[in-house]
Amino acid sequence: MFKGFRQFIMRGNVIDLAVGVVVGAAFNTVVQSLVKDLITPLIAAIVKQPDFSKLTFALNGSQFNYGDLVNSAVSFVIVAGTVYFFVVLPINTLSARMHKGPPPETTTKQCPECTSNIPKAARRCPYCTAVLEEKK
In the CATH hierarchy, which fold is given to the domain comprising 2-98?
A: 1.10.1200
What is the C-alpha separation between 30 and 53, in angstroms, rounded?
19
Q: Give the start-to-end residue ranges of the domains of the chain.
A: 2-98, 105-136
Q: What pLDDT tens digit does each residue of the chain (136 aa) get?
A: 778 877 777 776 777 788 889 988 888 888 778 777 887 778 778 877 666 778 889 999 999 988 888 878 877 887 788 778 877 898 889 888 888 777 778 899 999 999 999 999 899 999 999 998 766 5
Q: What pTM, to 2 d.p., does this model score? A: 0.48
pLDDT of residue 59: 92
